[in-house]
Amino acid sequence: MADEFLVFDHVTKRFGALTAVDDVSFSIKKGEFFSLLGPSGCGKTTLLRMVGGFERPDSGRIYLDGKDITDAPPNMRRVHTVFQNYALFPTMTIWDNIAFSLRLAKKPKAEIEESVDAILEMIRMSDHAWKYPSQLSGGQKQRVAIARALVDRPQVLLLDEPLAALDLKLRQHMLLELDTIHDQVGITFVYVTHDQGEAMSLSDRIAVMNLGKVEQLDTAAKIYEAPRSSFVAAFIGDTNFLVGEIVSTEGDYCTIKVEGLGAVSAYNDRKLDVGRKVHLSVRPEKIRVTLNPPPPEKGAGINIFTAEVTDVIYQGVYTKYWLKSGGRSMSALKPHSRFLLDQESITWKDRVYLWWHPDDGYMVENFSPMDVSLIQDPPAPKESSTP
Amino acid sequence: MTRSGRWAEWGVSLPSFVWLTVFFVVPTLIVLSIAFHAPSSDGGFASGFTMETWKAVVRTPYKEIVWRTIWISAVTTAVCILLSLPCAYSIARMNTRWRAIVAGLIMLPFWTSFIVRVFAWRTLLNPEGFLQHVLIALGLADASVSLNYNSGAILVVSVYSFLPFAIMPIYTAAEKFDFSLMEAARDLGARSFFAFRKIFLPGVKRGVVSAILMVFIPAIGSYVIPDLVGGRDSELIGNKIYQRTFPDRNLPHASALAAVMGFSVLLPLAWVAWMIKRQDAREAKRLAEATARKLSGGAA
Ligand SMILES: Nc1ncnc2c1ncn2[C@@H]1O[C@H](COP(=O)(O)OP(=O)(O)OP(=O)(O)O)[C@@H](O)[C@H]1O
Ligand SMILES: [Mg+2]
């Protein structure tokens, strides 16, 4: 079935006392661009290596296109890997590197030449075919590694942080290129990264991993807008966590009494009852900061609080404000533009209004106090030099 | 290369050049020149040029001995390399602690004198020795078979003696080898042995070449091993040179034999150099062919 092309069925992998991959079950669709996203050491590479055949799960099975591949050796799987360090064969030319898998498969000579020349064309490296890997730049090596893994049309292409060694501009360029290549070849890509930007811009779906488990598997937008756990909310982007108890419900919405802040209105998609303790995640860019109260046409029922600016951090695209309201700190982002009608300059110690729509807060299902440390702390309060 | 670069290269290689000239080339030429003199009765050599020694050398049936020296050395080298490759591979794959332990174990025999170790083999291979008893007990041999004093014994003891000299350079190369290349090869469909042959072997080529030299050169000049475990009809050049030098006191004859021996070392060296050259040439030829193919393809 197309929806269950690559299937992980209760896969667990331990290294001694450490459980690197912990009872993971999910499936990847055929032709999908799928990302594994998570912090360093969460088990992404281990999971990938089990698909490639370089590690064997301690328990659980892996299926590819309906066949159990758990115990198949690497050369018996139609799965290829793009290694982080490229792993191009230094004693072979680029052409021979790319032809490697085709020669192993004993393809006819004419077909090998045709396929290799075609893929060299696709990655725009035809002029470098007779060079050796040491004579290429990082981005070129990367393209060759991808071509080598794609040339015999594997069922799945595994990419383990393929862009980690490249500089920012080249990385952005290669991202576009990867996207194009995926569209051209239509092969299932499994992409490992700890860079949320990469994962979000490329993937059809993302699995966010933490401590060997998959925390959430969704589209980029779902993961960002509706994070199921405090880990996902804090790891992907930035957020504010508001802790409180539901005091009343009104249709799709509810009112939460937040310690140190007051009554906050939020979208109650899980239809939680009064009395439930909840954790609301509000992303900084969803919070508006103004010197004047919001105009009435913005609607009733929006969350409005007054606050004092405790810090202003200019970040280019945005300015980040740290605000203190009722004894608790929150952060908000604001883009710069003359056309923003309320573009007053707000500075340190100003009294401001902060406001956001109830739809812009999301109540996470699982909250762990540990995850709060993933988000940036407010700067330590400064002593004012002048009164 | 720039002019200053060439001078700098000269400057760097000058000391080793001088060293090699003074301590290797000049002595070799002296030894060679002795072969053109007549022997003197006091064990030295007389003045005056003569080709008599060379004629004597050619007349004496050395052919068999030279041939035996070369094949025993070649087989010793081949066996050592074949054993060292998997050895070096597995040591390089161990973790750091085990590597140090195993490398230490390989060097351990060097704490005992070489001659003592060869003597130990002589005892081991003796008709009354341990190995013979084991073989007889297993029904693989009877008392009439002699393990000692033949070419086979020389071969076994040579492999034993020179193996560390083959393992070490290959291991040094393997230690620097990037083993993710093996994974890449497996990933692209290669079986383990194919990856070993096509990826690991070229990757440690330099180590293999120096291992070949490290084993073959001392094997050609081997003297102690054939003297102790070889028999009357398994003498090598080394033994003959000794006999000519000391019991016979015929220095020119010994020098001529040494020259023959030197030649048998140089020959395979030249062969190795030629193989490397030829590989480069093949590469260049392929490149030219491919370019031609591309050009004609582009024109069509
Ligand atoms: N061969 C191994 N032996 C012992 N422990 C291992 C081994 N491989 C991985 N681990 C451990 O398993 C955990 C998961 O490792 P893994 O390489 O899968 O992380 P990752 O998510 O890929 O991290 P990164 O983003 O840093 O690459 C880590 O704690 C790591 O130390
Ligand atoms: Mg990793």
CA gap A88, A355 in Å, rounded: 54
Helix (H) or strand (E) holding A182: helix A168-185
pLDDT of B277:
82
For residue A137, how many other CB atoms are within 10 A of its CB? 11
- DSSP code per residue over A90-114: TTS-HHHHHHHHHHHTT--HHHHHH
What is the DSSP-derived secondary structure letter of residue A236?
A: S
- Residue B148 is predicted with a pLDDT of 83
A31: region left, alpha or beta (phi > 0 left; psi from -120 to 50 alpha): left
* C-alpha B89 – ligand 2 centre gap (Å): 25
H or E segment and range at residue A122:
helix A109-122
Q: What is the pLDDT of residues A292-340, one digit of tens each?
A: 888 877 777 889 999 999 999 888 888 899 999 888 889 999 887 766 6
By CB atoms closer than 10 A (0-12, 13-18, 19+), residue A294 is middle
Does B188 contact A148 at a Cβ distance shorter than 8 Å?
yes
Instruction: Look up the domain containing B175 and give its range.
Output: 42-277
How far is ligand 1, taken at its centre, from the CA of residue A213, in Å? 13
Instruction: Enumerate the H helices of A211-349 as residue ranges.
Output: 220-225, 230-235
Query: Which among A74, A91, A130 has CB closest to B186?
Result: A74
B117 domain residue, yes or no: yes
Q: What is A235-374's CATH number, 3.40.50.620, 2.40.50.100, 3.40.1160.10, 2.60.40.1190?
A: 2.40.50.100
* Residuewise pLDDT in 10s, chain B (300 residues): 556 677 877 888 888 889 888 988 898 899 899 999 888 888 788 888 888 888 888 888 888 898 999 999 999 999 999 999 999 999 999 999 999 999 899 989 888 999 999 999 998 888 888 888 888 888 887 777 788 888 889 999 999 999 999 999 999 999 999 999 999 999 999 999 999 999 999 999 888 988 998 899 899 989 999 999 988 888 899 999 999 888 888 899 999 999 888 887 888 788 878 888 887 777 777 767 766 766 665 443
The Cα–Cα gap between A380 and A322 comes to 11
| Closest CA to ligand 1's atom 19 | A41
Structural domain boundaries in chain A: 6-225, 235-374
Residue A253 makes CB contacts below 8 A (sequence gap 6+) with A265, A266, A267, A268, A301, A358
Question: Average pLDDT for residues A43-49, to the nearest whole number?
Answer: 94
**Taking the domain A6-225, which CATH number applies?**
3.40.50.300
Return the pLDDT at A385.
45
The pocket of ion ligand 2, defined by CB under 5 A, consists of A 45
* Shortest alpha-carbon distance between residue A134 and chain B (Å): 14
Instruction: Give pLDDT tens digits for A273-305.
Output: 999 999 999 999 999 998 888 887 777 788 999
State which residue of chain B sits closest to A54, comparing Cα positions: B183
Query: Cα distance from B138 to chain A (closest Cα, Å)?
Result: 40
pLDDT attached to residue A316: 82
Give the nearest partner residue to A75 out of B180, B186, B203, using CB atoms. B186
Would the CB atoms of A89 and B199 count as touching at under 8 Å?
yes
Pull the structure tokens for residue A303. Answer: 């969350």
Work out the minimum CA distance from A102 to partner chain B, whole angstroms.
9
- Chain B residues whose CB is inside 8 A of the A85 CB are 178, 180
In a domain, B295, yes or no: no
B107 in a structural domain: yes
In a domain, B163, yes or no: yes
pLDDT of residue A381: 62
**Per-residue pLDDT tens digits for A79-107:** 999 988 899 999 899 999 999 999 999 99
Residue B197 lies in a domain: yes
d(CA B37, CA B54): 10
Position B105 scores a pLDDT of 92
The CATH code of the domain that includes B61 is 1.10.3720.10
Name the average pLDDT for chain A. Answer: 90
Tell me the mean pLDDT in the region A182-211. 92
Question: Does the beta carbon of B181 lie under 8 angstroms from any beta carbon of chain A?
Answer: yes
Partners of A152 on chain B (C-beta within 8 Å) are: 188-189
Interface of A with B in 136-165 (CB under 8 A): 148-149, 152
Q: How many domains, chain B?
A: 1
Contacts of B191 in chain A (CB under 8 A): 75
Does residue B13 sit within a domain?
no
3-state secondary structure chain B: CCHHHHHHHHHHHHHHHHHHHHHHHHHHHHHHHHCCCCECCCCCECCCCCCHHHHHHHHCCCHHHHHHHHHHHHHHHHHHHHHHHHHHHHHHHCCHHHHHHHHHHHHHHHHCCHHHHHHHHHHHHCCCCHHHHHHHHHCCCCCCCCCCCCHHHHHHHHHHHHHHHHHHHHHHHHHHCCCHHHHHHHHCCCCHHHHHHHHHHHHCHHHHHHHHHHHHHHHHCCCHHHHHHCCHHHCCHHHHHHHHHCCCCCHHHHHHHHHHHHHHHHHHHHHHHHHHHHHHHHHHHHHHHHHHHHHHHHHC
Question: How much is the average pLDDT of A129-150?
Answer: 92
In this prediction, residue B298 carries a pLDDT of: 47
B210 Cα to the center of ligand 1, angstroms: 37
Collapsing DSSP states into helix, strand and coil, what is residue A330?
strand
Who lines ligand 1 at CB under 6 A? A 15, 18, 20, 38, 40-46, 194
